Each structure stands twice: as C-alpha cells, then as structure tokens.
Structure 1
C-alpha cells in the first residue's frame, strides 16, 4: 500500500544528512569526546567491575561478567590501526585485510569460521561482523556461553584474526570482486560523487583525505599479494590490539583463555611507528559548492571545527553535560521554527559532537545543516539556521529552557541507573573499546549516576551559555553546499555565502519561551469498570474486558526495571475511506503529529520534561490505535496521553500546511534519484497499479485536505469498543487496574463492530518483468520476487522461515563467494494474514551491468536446486541453531512479547503457540523443505524488477 507522506519525508531527508561514504561494513560506535580540561581536575575512576590486564607482548584485555543476555558473551578484537597506516601501494588494503580474516586462517581454512559459527547459532552480518575506519579495525563476535566448546573456540577465532590470517593468493583474488562490488553497492551515486568533491575540504587535504577506507578501485584490482601480506604482518600485532570479553561467564576462566590464545602472538622485529594524524586548522572560512545531476536537494552545511580530547576528568564530564544541554535546547528551538508555516527551511539541524561520525579522533564540531526548497532560497535557509547559533551565542538560553532540559536529563539519569543490572553486554564492550582506542574514561554506573546528579544540580545557566558560546567559533569554519546540477545557476556564490555567514547574527533578538501551563486533560474522565477478567498462566497474561468494550492484555515481566511498553489496535484504518478521500485519510497521521489539545509538539515536549512517557496515535491501512512507553512511575501520564490523543486531537493548520508544502518539494525532487524512481516502480508493480497503492504524486498531494484528515482521525477514534491494548513490562496487575478503568474504560464507545475493507490492492499474478533505466553509472539493482496466497499458520510460517534462511546462505555462497559478483545479496521474507494471507520471497542484490543476466540466472539456479533437492542437512542445522538461539534471546525481551501478543490477537491466533516454537523449529526436515520449496518457490507468480543505468 501507499506510504504515508510523513514517513516518506523522514526517509527522504535522512539521505540529505548522510556523511561521505567511508565504505565500512558497520559504522563504529561514536567515541564520546569533549574539550580537554586542565590536569588538576580529578580523573574519573575506572569501574572496579572490569578486569583490565596486559600480556607481555603488549596486548590489552578487558573482562567483565554481565548476565544480560544470559548464556551469551560479546567478544571483540580491537586493532588500533586502519586505513591511515597504508602506504601508497596499499590504498584500501586495511579494509581488504578485514575481509580476508573471514577467508582463511591457520586453524580455520577458507570460510570455515563463518561455517562453524553459523552451526553454533551465530548469524553472519547480524551478529558476526567487522568494520574498518581511518584509525581502527574492529571484529565483533557475539557467542553463546552455554557450550564450553563453542565459547572456547570463540577466543581461538579472535586469536586467528589477530595473527594467523593465511592470505592465500587464490582467496585474495576471489575477494577482489567482492570489494569492488562493495564500492559499487555503497557508491556509484550522487553521494559518492559529491563526497569526492567535498572530502579534501572536509578533511583539510590531510592524510585522512588520501586514505578513504574503501581505497583505490584500480589498485584493488591489480595489487600483488605481497602488498596485503606486508600490511597484515606490519600492523596486526599484539601491542596495537585489545581483546574485550563481556558476558555470562567466569572472569578468571576467560582470563586464562586469553592468556592461552594470545600470549604466543609476537610483534615484528622492526616495528613501524604508529603515527597519529589530525586535520589542519583554517583561519578563513573554506567554501565548496558541489552539484550533481542526481542530487535531489539543496543543502548547505556550516561546520565549526574544534580540537578535542576524550572525557577523562570530572571537568571533562561537566563540559560534556553542558554541551548535551545545549544540543537539546538548540534542537528544540529549530524544531519549533520548522513547525511554522513561514519556516525559512525545508529542514534544519544544528548539533555539537564528534566530527565525521567520530572517525577523526581529536576533532569535534558544531555542524549546522539547512535544506532549502530551491537553490535560490538556499542562502536564506542557511542564514536562518546559522542565526540560531548566533542567537544562543549572543543571548544564551532562558532559565525556563534550562529547567526543562535538566528535568529531561535527570529523568534519563534515573532511568539508566534503575536499569544498571539489565545493561546489555554490548554497551560495556563499546565503552571499553573507546577506552582502548582513545583513552576515554570508564567509570561505574554508580559513580556516573552520582556525578550526573551532582553536576545537573550545580551547572548554572552561565555554565551552559558559556558552552554554547564556545561552540560558535570564528575560525575553523567550513561551508559546503550540495545541490542538483539543474540549480547551479540559482545557487549563491562563495563570496555571497561568506558575507551571509558574517551577517547571520545581525538583528537577532533573545528567544521567547512559549511554554503552556495548562492541564493535559481539562476534566477528569468518568471512570468505567472491568466487566471480565481471565488469566493464562502458561504465558503469564491477564485479559480484562472493560465496560466500554475495550480489551486489555497485561503481561508483567522483569526483563527491564524501568520499562513498560504498549500498543493497541482496532480494525478499520484507512481502508474504510472512500476512493475520493483515501489520500486525506492516509495522512490523518499528520493530525497525530500536530500535538494534542492546547499543546503543539514543542510545548508538549516541555510539558513532558522530567517524565519518561511517550504516546503516539496511528492509522495504517487496516488498523488504528496507540503505541507508547513509560517508566512505571509515569504510567499515569502515558494513560492521560492516550485519553487526550483519542478525545482531544489538535487541528493545527500551520503545522499541517507546512508538512504538505515540504512533501511537495520532496515529491518533486525524488525523480532525480535512481533509487527513488526504482522504489516507486517497485511499489506500483507490486500493487498491480491499483489507485490506492500507487506512489504519491504532486496531484495527489493537492487532494489532501486538513478538514477531511481531521474528521477521519476523529472518526477512527470515536469508537473504542474495538480497541485491544497490550501492555508488557514492569508493572503490577492490580496497581495498573485503576489507571485502566479511569483512562481506557472511559474512552468513547459506539459499538460499531467495525472491520477493515479489502480494497483489492494485490500483487499481479503470473510472471511479470519490469526494467527501469535511470542512473549515470554502472550500477544495477535487482529484485526477484516469488509470491502467492497461502494458508497462514505457525507451521507454514516456520517452514517459510527455514526456506528463507537456507536460501539466503546459498545465494550468498553462489553470488558472492563463487561468482564474486555482488557484495551483500539478501533474501527477505514477508508474510501477511490480512486482508488476505500472502507470502513474498525477495532475492535482491546490486551488481555491474555486464553481470546482471549471469547473476540472475545463477540465483534462479539456486532456487531450482531448492525445488529439486530441498535444503541441505547442513544448512538446515544452521537455520535451527540460529533460530533457536534467537528464540531464547527473544523470550527475555519486552519488545518481542509486545509484537508477539499483538499479532496473535490481531490475527485471532492461538496465543499459546509460542510454547511450541522449539518443537516446530526442530520438526522441520529436509524432505519437508523439498516439498515446501516446490510449493512456495514454484515460480508461477514471479516478478522480476531491474534498475539499469540510462546508457
């Protein structure tokens, strides 16, 4: 079905703010950095719960016992080396080396590491992964601890990565194509082309600019094997490495495993110096305008660079908190401007933090982005965004703003401390990795909590305003513009932009706070009653039926100490709108985004400061309802928000029209982006060109009417008798009942007994092929879809899951490992029960134009093999291991139970089917998969979708 416009906008604008591509498998965690203070400030103490040691060869290790999740551990190998260590003959080989670690080591030949771990239930990509940056290369291995053999082998694998990668020549040559395809998949687009223009400015023509991790494509195709072997020999050495282990294990045993596996590693006799690089300062602003035919938006970004160091002392910590306060308050001001009908920008953002995503260790920046509707309006948009920086630098913030942000941060501090015994192991791993790489402090939760409390009380308005003023520097400014080629003649010139920056603060006046001081609900609702109560002890739920027909399903858990999450649903949704009004109905969610009652979104945020409670309303194709979360202490606020959103929605013409105006710009511009054009085609084909499933056009947007949207929203929530609420988390059933009777049993009820309507938006039957020609470079996107109606059941769904998992393995082995023609092919599975049961298998990948038919044929061969032979016993074992491990983890997650219970109730399924998950998974056989493959992958309903370059 057609996506709502507000969702399209979020997705489209996220592309605007993407950093220049660094070609990593996974983005590293951002190192927390702040201004280095004098050494006299007390150093933050190291958490006593982590054991830190150092082997004689220089390898540093961190070990911590942590039982969330149970029977699991996070193992990391961190290397303090990256692409900056490459010489001119090795451009891209740091990243290539990371790939080779998965292609054969001394103890695990070829792909045996991946093979072994998949059998143990570790998923490649989702769990097992690695990334390469300028300064670091990191390998991550989440692993079960309830199998002593598998757990011990995990350290053996880390040690093989650290110093035993074989670098077989044939494997190196096979991997060249994969690396080239990674560059194609991540690049060959406007973003990459613009990045090449901007990086010398963003990185100061430094070594960083000359050592982009993906490297030089021509060199990667031709380098001799000795170049990568030399890189590995020179730089993968224990005195630049760390092993981090956090999980449900015995610390002393883990220390023995580290000593046993890593002590034999040796440093090279003639060590190369590990040089640390930075980027140069600039006194005068640097300006660069970059255009591209496929760039969809007019974007200006002003960067104020600052040299920074990691958080080590209390003074650092205090400055960090003040900077976080500034970010929060500045973001609120800009969000307030964006709600206005005369907002000078389509989108804006201003935030202080790590420069280039933390990839440059000693640099932070205030980075301000403005997106304009046209090139001619870009200067005005930029000046308006920069004026907010100047406003805060000149006049600071108000006492009211500071009080609001302190309430928010105090509530966050309390919540984090309450969850300290439920902290996931992965969170600790990132802290220890940052300590190893850049020296950032690792205080305990208890210390951090108390220090936060003290500093939040002591930080004054003057402290915050000083931090704000320090961010807006007059030197180290970089201004970059990204714009469509067609707007080139309309863009401001460099001199004009510089002059605009200098004058941006002229005439700014102090900010005026617009907080609302009214109750969220003007009059307490008349409470209803609970008319029926049942319990299901097998899955731990209590079901209440209320006097107005609302049903409430309650599942108390101890998975989180300070979390309650909930959602609701009732049949109907936008399906009930007429063909003439469905565009307005589909975008009635804009009403939910406009605030509630007397509160616009900014005012509501201020009202909720200090409370951990959030509630939204939604209307999708078939259902409408509410969703949200709260701390147990703030549950009443969450219930009040549900009641207010149901009974007192806000009709804000200015906000609504601003959204519509923005959507027009986004819709008008997306035609220049090949991916957007292809996505629109896919959407149209999959909806069989049904009017209600087509992509949104400018003509469609003109038909969206606020009065119709508001009326539809009101109508959808006028009858709560069909609503079913599901609550999961840390609450007591008896204590939550008064909130339920007061705020849910009082919701209006008309007993309309509604159902959704099947409007006939279905995929085409038979064989369909559609090719789109759009794009300047040699980059092809392929989607192969196998679909059909089927009988929706737990048994059939687990069979589909098994086919998907095994086909994913085979497609990766064939297209990536054997053909070397793609980087990350994927097989996705989507199933639905309503309005009609249907499944979709989609094989997707990117490749070169010359290989497209060969790779499609190869993919179809693997599908045919499935139909003829079923899933192999080995791949079925991998599916079962991975699936059972995920089930084990999921059953301890509030989010899993909320989704599970909601779907079972929504589809009128047996809510106890979760109890048979293990037996269902173990019951899948090779013979059964063969039968299933013939049925579900028969190709009778097959859609081929291909995006080719224009030439």
Structure 2
C-alpha cells in the first residue's frame, strides 16, 4: 500500500476517500470530478466577507523522486513562480500584489513527502479575479515554463532555504525517521533535497518529473469562501477540462518499503547544541490499505483519551521539584497512512538522562499493567468533547482559509471531510466506549505485542551509547510498579460574591463599544463582535510593568512570564487547577509589557464567570508555589543552550538589546542572573501592584452584554481597596537609546552554518499614528525591493523582511531590514540591504510601488478589523490612551491617504545612512566556504 492515491474508477472520477468509507462527508461540501479524473470540492464560508481561499493539491512530493532527483519536487514548486504559460517571469508577484495579494501570505506553496500544494488567498471572488486565479492554478498544473535561465537563478535561493532549514530539530527529525523506518523511502527523501542535486540537476529532469507526476488523476482543487458555488464549479471545469489531454496514464505509486517494530533497538544521536536531552520510546505497526471508517475514527478518539491521560501523568511528574523530567507527552498518529506510530517523548536534563528513561519506562508499564482510573478518564474525555463542541459552535465564523487547509490535508490523507456535528458525534461515541478496561486493552494492543524503539538525542553525555540506553531501559523494566494514585475530588475554591455596579458608563457609536468606571477605581471596556462565534477574549492591564522594573533584579520579568502562573494559587496548585477546569474553555496567560502587566483569558460564554474568577484569583491570591519556581529553574540551562546556539537566540539576547540600548525589558539577563531570581522578589514586585495598582479590564467577543456586565460587577466591581484613576508609573526622561552609526558582530556558538544580517534605523513611537502608518507602508515598499534584490536578482537569501517596530510607551521605534543567511553571506547581504535602502533616494518610490504595497495592506487591515484580537488591542488601555479608539476609526482611510510624496519624505527623514546600526550574526564560517 502507498500513500492515499487509488486507481481511477470506471467513470474516471477522482478517488474521493468517502468512496471506500462508511462515513458520509459534510453535506455543506460540493464534490466534483472532471472527465480527466481531476477532483474539486467547494464550500461556502462567509468569514471574512468576500474572501476566497484556493488550494491546488498535486499528490506528488519527494517520495516520487528518483535518486537523481532528490529535492526536485520542491525545486519544481519554486519554478512555478518563475514563469508560466500566462504569467511571465517577474510579473506574477507584481500582478497579484496590485489585486491585494501579498507574496508569501496570499500566494505561496509548499512541498511535502506526498504532495505539493499551491495556495491563493483572494481578496474577493469577482469574475475577473476568479478567471485569473484559476488560470494561474491551471498554469501551475501544466503550464510552468521551466526556462533554463530561471532554473539557474533559483538554485541559490533553494540552497539558501536549505541552509535556513538546517537546524538541530531538522537533523534530529531526519535521523529519527531513518531509525524508525530504515530501508524505506522516508529515510532518504527529505523534501528539501540534496545540495548536489539542487546545484546540478539539469532541466531535463524537471521536465521528466513534471510531466510524469503532475497528472489530473493526482490533482484536486479546494475552493472555500464567500462564493457562488455554481459559478465557481463552472469556472473550474472550464479552466481544467483540457488538463492532461497530452498526457498518458499516470505512473504507479512507488514502493515505500517494509516496516517492522519487533525486538528492542536503540539509537543515541548526539546534538550538542540541542536544547535538552530528549528520550523517546516508540512502537508502531504498518497501515495496510486501511480505509477511513467510523470504527477507525472512534478508535483514534479513544487513543486521544488514553494518550491525554499518559501526558497528564507525565506533566505531574515534571512538576515534582527534584524531577529530571522537564516536559513530556504521549502520542499515537498515522504517518502518511504508511505506519501508525505510538510513543512517549520526554525532555530531561543531560546529567539525569538515565533517571528520565526509567520514569518513562515505568509510567508506560504502570498503565499497561494497572490501567487507568475513572477520574483520569473523565478529565481526558471532558477535554476531548470540549474541543469537539467548540468546533461545532464556531463553524459559522470559521475562516475560509482554515476550512481550505483542513480539506486539503484530509483529502490528501484519504480522510473523509466530516461536518463538525459528525466529529462531535464520533467523539461522544469514543468517550462512551472509554472505560478503564477498554482503554487498557487498547493500550496493550498497541504496546504488548510490539517491540520498542529507544531514541536518545540532544546534548547526551559522551560515552553513552545504544547498549547503555538499552541496559538502563531493561534494568528499569525489572522494577515492580504500582498503580498510579487515584486523584482526589477537587473544586475551584475562588468565586467572587456580591456585586457593585459601575458609577459611570460611556458608550461609543463608532466603533461601537462601552467603557465603565467602578467606585473602587477599576476601569472596564467591552465590545460585542460577531467575528468569532462563542469566543471571548479578556485582558486585564495592571500596574506599571516594565516601567516598574527593579534595577537590581535582572531577569525578574522573564521569571514572571515563565513561572508566575505555574506557581498556582494559594489554595490550589496549577496542576490541580487543570483538573478542576477539565472540559471548560478557560485559558490564562500572563505577560509583562513596557508599561503594564497583562493577565489574559480566552473563554466562551458558558465559562465566562469561571475564567473571570480565575483571573481575579491570580490578582488577589497568587500561590508562588515552589514547584513553579523549580520547573522554571530546571529549564534555564536548556533555554540558554538554545539561545547561544541559534541566530534567533542571539537576535533576542544580544542584537535587540544592543538596538534598544539595553533598556528596560530589552536588558537580557545572563543565565546566572536569571538563576538568582526567586519568588520572594517576584512577590514583592507584583503583589503591591496587583492589589493596589491601576487596573483596566477589556473584553471582546460573543457575549450578551447584560450577562457580561453582571459578571464584571461581581468579579471586578467588588475588588477590595481603591484603585488609582490613572497609572502611577509614567515615562521618565530616560528611555531606549538607539546606537546610531554603530556596527556589531555577534557570534553563534554552533557548528551548523547560520546567520542573519540586519540594518536598522531609529524611527518613531506609535504616536503620532500618521507617522507610524507611513513607516509601516514604507516597510512594505522596502520589503518588496529586498525581494527583488537579494532573492530574485542575486539569489542570496530565501528568508527576509522589512518592518517597523514602534513603541506605544516611548517616543522610540526601530525600522529594519533583515535576512536569514549562511554565515559567509552575512556581510555581503548586509551591504546589499543598505544598498536597497539607499535606492529609495536614488530611485524614488513609484506610484505602482505604492499601490502594490497598499493593496495587500488594505486587505490585511480589513481582515484585521474582523479579528477579536485587534479590537482587544484597541480597548486595552483605551481609558489611559483614548486616542486608540480614534485610531481604529481612521485605520483604512489613514493608509489610503498616504501618497508617494509622504513615503518619500518619510524615507528621507528616517532612513539616514549615517544613523544606521548594522547587526551581523553568524556561526563560524566553515573552512571550505572561506
């Protein structure tokens, strides 16, 4: 059996997965097949209005490559953007930019083992754009020109992408796949390919692969959005009816090989730069032409339940103060419908790897021998059913792009696209069949009759080899294990009582929102929206945040963000809180911003009161429990190992602090400084501000206003004490200082070639907003010029961006261009970035550039205004900064009013070469590259 592709039926229809299943697809989907065997599916979706999402999936990926073609499927995907029958090279991106589609965000593609997918996100479904978008997708199917000169230009970009993907995680994944599936094509068909093939593969191989595998029988199109299904079906049939007329039969799927998980085998894979040691015990079984059936879906639901229980058990163990475990999870999943893999993965501290192996082995054996407790099952079932119900409740406002991505994945995986109601029904059946006996039997069926694969990776101590790993595992296996202790009954001990109505309520009509003040000084803002059904977002802004940082406690903000919530509440631990809230939609986060602390929640109407009570409890009675601090401290070494060995980590820990003058939250602590921080310091910093500081609550989403206000009256109107009417922490004379004219080189401690080049300029804060908007649009213009210069023209970089980062607290901002590179290219590309910036003066911005930057931005802004997170940002702090509301009113027209002259003047004002700061980050350059 191979992948998901089946033979054509007698009617030459696309092999839809429901044809071999007892499951019926979502009735909202229209399925169709062309006489040539190509398939299409269409679904209407009204959110966002007018938008259309298209996915063209060709069931051909790296597994179809010959040895001489390794990497060619992915290379071919790139060539689809370099000239087709109807879109000349260098014109496609610009054409769709003018229509409001950003390169990367709205026009993109990806290649996997078993498929190549092309993506279009259309601003609307107007007939002309419908015709052009389908013309482009048809060109991808059989109209790519594969010009020799374009192939040569693209080789450098592919190599740059390959370099950017060369990470510890990728190397580990590649090694583990080879260990688990030896002798199969998965082991030596990574989609990114081989450097020698990328560098030398001739055009003839491109043509051969393209003509062989891009067949209508292997192709289907997904169209979702605010569309007329009849019109789109007709247009699809017209656009693709002649696809494949000049092709013979599609080739047979290649043979993948055989898999076996008998016996016990081990592999130690050292990655000294790995974040932590990871131990994984796994097993598997081949999937032999297994159709997608109701029974299979129910079994997978039960697998989710039992793996959730195992994961929760491991989470609890990780919270023990002396545990070697840092994190862990259990899993079962089908890998490309080829093999079902099951396992437990745990990260551990390097010097305690053996203890970690023993814990994983014994926890798995506890479940195999003693099974599961009823209380554990109920908790896992509740979470499974909650997720399924949320999908049902949110389907009317689900984004069209989300539907398109799901359908493309499911059909390519030979899975029937079900309705959310059908998925809920299956989840309910899985839950009803999940008893201690059935789950233990299912677990034993997976593990008892199969072998073990032991994989140890990361900064494993020298001298540890595969035989040592097996010896530790087998020694642990001889230890008797007892059943896991039963969970005790738990209740949530915090619930506010009483109520206090606002003393003042102000209502705004444009945008429609309300603001209130309570007698205790608490401020509240709320906005009801129709954008995300049954979803509510909450932010509590408290105190001074970064403005109140203690000068003598470097790292205290990182401790707060990493450990505060993990410290739980005084009357209930963080872990027990997870059990109490099982099946309820509550999600609590904490962060430190430049001018405040932010407690955030995400919930639904029926759980709103519980979420608000949890947020209040963290305000009034945080626990600062030792297990939260212990877990955080035990992870510090692994965090800093990753920071020191990746360009992203150096950017965060050294480059950004350099550009901000090491001010405030940007002052990155050393590892030793962070280890010195403790909960007593954190308590002293947070509690006074939590109990007495300025407090503003903002709520956005799908709620009944009367019910929300009653909840706010109860939870926040009754907060004890008297809050100040304005923040007591204000901006002083000092602030971030940009290093004008300076240049820094930062080293990455890595043997993996990696680096980045950045050129940055001092810009401005968020206000005045007109200036901030001009800088934002200017960054889009620069981003496009970077695309042309360092990607299309020179092929130096695959990943790059230009952006502006304005502070909403200080009159300070940073405008920058950055590219991700191999180390030997860092300095030359930094110079190229500066040359592109300087070109704004020598080659003034054109009206076409303004339009191509503006149109995609307007589309994104329109979509943003239909996003609850945007409105939460507008409301958050709006009683401190009321101009935020005015900014939301003028958002679209503000961008539309920006002229070429505005952009040119902004560039002349801020992008002054003498003020630029240069940042170069690189690992040591390999000798052969010097």
Q: Same fold (TM over 0.5)?
A: yes
Q: Is the 8 A contact 2:393 2:534 kept in 1?
A: yes
Q: Does the C-alpha gap of structure 1 residues 584 and 101 become closer, same or farther in structure 2, counting only changes over 3 Å?
A: closer
Deviation for aligned residue 1:801:
1.2
Greater shift in the superposed pair: 132-141 or 453-462: 453-462
For 2:130 and 2:221, how far apart are their aligned partners in 1? 14
The answer to whether residue 747 in structure 2 is matched with residue 769 in structure 1 is no
1:58 is matched with 37
1:148-297, aligned counterparts within 5 Å?
A: 148-187=127-166, 189-194=167-172, 197-266=175-244, 268-269=247-248, 271-297=250-276
- Within 5 Å, give how 1:444-463 maps onto structure 2: 444-463=419-438
Distance 1:41 1:244 in 2: 20
Counterpart-to-counterpart distance in 2, 1:942 and 1:471: 60
Q: Equivalents in 1 of 2:829, 2:590: separation in Å?
A: 44
C-alpha root-mean-square deviation of aligned residues, in Å?
Answer: 2.6
Deviates more, 1:689-698 or 1:733-742: 689-698
Q: Deviations over 1:489-540 (max 9, x none)?
A: 3x25424425515734732211113445344227x44432310011111211
CA distance in 1, matches of 2:365, 2:19: 32
* Cα distance in 2 between the residues matched to 1:614 and 1:670: 28
Tell me the residue number matched to 1:843: 817
Corresponding residue of 1:546: 518
Alignment equivalent of 1:91, drawn from 70, 76, 91: 70
1:744 to 716, 725, 731: 716
Tell me the equivalent position of 2:310.
330
| Structure 1 segment 91-130 matched on structure 2, within 5 A | 91-130=70-109
- Counterpart CA distance in 2 for 1:258 and 1:433 is 16
**Match for residue 361 of structure 1?**
337
Query: Which residue, 845, 853, 858 being the options, matches 1:879?
Result: 853
Aligned to 1:464, which of 439, 459, 476? 439
Please point out which of 492, 499, 508 is paired with 1:536: 508
**Secondary structure at the counterpart of residue 364 of structure 1:** strand
- Segment of structure 1 superposing worse, 158-167 or 141-150: 141-150
Q: CA deviation at 1:849?
A: 4.4
Whether the aligned pair in 2 keeps the contact of 1:564 and 1:730 (CA below 8 Å) is: yes
The 5-angstrom pairing of residues 378-393 of structure 1 reads 378-393=353-368
Change (3 A) 1:598 1:441: same
> Does structure 2 conserve the Cα–Cα contact (< 8 Å) formed by 1:294 and 1:674?
no
Task: Find the aligned partners of 1:868 and 1:41 in 2 and give their Cα distance.
Answer: 63
SS at structure 2 position matched to 1:77: strand
CA distance in 2, matches of 1:401, 1:73: 43
Matched, 1:945 2:924: no
CA distance in 1, matches of 2:406, 2:884: 43
TM-score (norm 1): 0.90
The answer to whether structure 1 residue 508 and structure 2 residue 481 are counterparts is yes
Larger CA deviation: 80-89 vs 807-816? 80-89
Does residue 349 of the first structure (1) align with residue 321 of the second (2)?
no
Tell me which residue corresponds to 2:702.
730
Structure 2 unaligned spans of 5+: 1-17, 926-930
Q: Shift in Å at residue 328 of structure 1?
A: 1.7
The structure-2 alpha-carbon separation of the partners of 1:691 and 1:738, relative to structure 1 and needing over 3 Å to count, comes to closer
Query: How far apart are 1:285 and its partner, in Å?
Result: 2.5
- Give 1:760 shift: 4.3
Return the alpha-carbon distance in structure 2 between the equivalents of residues 841 and 903 of structure 1. 25
Partner of 1:10: none
| Structure-2 change in CA distance of 1:200 and 1:73 (3 Å) | same
Deviation at 1:787, TM superposition (A): 1.6
Q: Is residue 403 from structure 1 mapped to residue 378 from structure 2 by the alignment?
A: yes
Deviation at 1:148, TM superposition (A): 2.3
> SS at 2:503's partner residue?
strand
Q: Deviations over 1:231-282 (max 9, x none)?
A: 1111111111111111111111111111111011116236432235255213
Change (3 A) 1:626 1:949: closer
* Distance in 2 of aligned mates of 1:163 and 1:668: 47
Q: Distance in 1 between matches of 2:315 and 2:270?
A: 28
| Shift in alpha-carbon separation, 1:492–1:200, aligned structure 2, 3 A | closer
In the TM superposition, structure 1's runs of 4+ consecutive aligned residues that sit over 6 Å from their partners are 39-42
1:914 partner SS: helix
Q: Is the 8 A contact 1:378 1:492 kept in 2?
A: no
Task: Tell me whether 1:312 sits opposite 2:285 in the alignment.
Answer: no
Alignment partner, residue 795 of structure 2: 820
Q: Which residue of 1 aligns with 2:10?
A: none
Q: Is the 8 A contact 1:44 1:442 kept in 2?
A: no
Spell out, residue by residue over 1:284-336, the C-alpha distance to the aligned partner (whole angstroms, 9 max, x if none).
23322222443343222222123347672221121111111112222211111
CA contact (8 A) 1:573 1:620 kept: yes
Mapped pair 1:49 → 2:28: yes
Q: Distance in 2 between matches of 1:724 and 1:675?
A: 34
Following superposition, the deviation at residue 905 of structure 1 comes to: 4.6
Would the aligned equivalents of 2:328 and 2:346 in 1 still touch at CA under 8 Å? Answer: yes
Deviation at residue 123 of structure 1 after TM alignment = 1.5
Residue correspondences, number:
902
SS in 1 for 2:48: coil
Q: 1:669 to 1:899 in 2, by over 3 A?
A: closer
What is the CA deviation profile of residues 80-116 of structure 1, one whole-angstrom value per residue up to 9, with x for unaligned ones?
Answer: 1111111222111111100000111000111322222
Q: Deviations over 1:385-443 (max 9, x none)?
A: 23222221221111111122222233333322222222222333234324432321222
Whether the 8 Å CA contact 1:586–1:620 is kept in 2: the answer is no
Equivalence for 1:145: 124
Aligned-pair CA distance for 1:598: 2.0
The answer to whether 1:73 aligns with 2:47 is no
Counterparts in 2 of 1:831 and 1:440: CA distance versus 1, 3 Å? same
Which whole-Å CA distance do the structure 2 matches of 1:850 and 1:104 have between them? 30
CA contact (8 A) 1:516 1:599 kept: no
Task: Specify the alignment match of 2:61 in structure 1.
Answer: 82
Calculate the TM-score normalised by the size of structure 2: 0.92
Query: For residue 604 of structure 1, what is the aligned residue in structure 2?
Result: 577
Q: Secondary structure at the match of 2:117?
A: strand
Given that residues 812 and 824 in structure 1 are in contact (C-alpha distance below 8 angstroms), is that contact kept between their aligned partners in structure 2?
no
Q: Pick from 674, 691, 696: which aligns with 1:701?
A: 674
The alignment status of 1:372 with 2:345, answered yes or no, reads: no
How far did residue 931 of structure 1 move? 0.6
Quote the offset at 1:797 in angstroms: 1.4
3-state SS of paired residue (1:282): coil
Give the corresponding residue for 1:131.
110
Alpha-carbon distance between aligned partners in 2 of 1:184 and 1:944, rounded to the nearest angstrom? 22
Deviation at residue 686 of structure 1 after TM alignment: 2.5
**What CA distance in whole angstroms lies between the structure 1 residues aligned with 2:302 and 2:185?**
32
Higher mean C-alpha displacement, 427-436 vs 737-746: 427-436
- Following the alignment from structure 2 to structure 1, what is the Cα–Cα distance between the partners of residues 772 and 679? 41
CA shift, 1:583, in A, is: 4.0
After TM superposition, the structure 1 stretch with the greater mean CA deviation from structure 2, 424-433 or 752-761, is 752-761
How far the C-alpha of 1:869 sits from its partner, in A, is: 4.2
Please identify, of 130-139 and 838-847, the stretch whose mean Cα deviation from structure 2 is larger: 838-847
Alignment of 1:626-775 (within 5 A): 626-667=599-640, 670-673=643-646, 675-677=648-650, 679-689=652-662, 693-719=666-692, 722-752=694-724, 753=726, 754-756=728-730, 758=732, 760=734, 762-774=736-748, 775=750
Residues 44 and 169 of structure 1: CA distance in aligned 2, closer, same or farther (over 3 Å): same
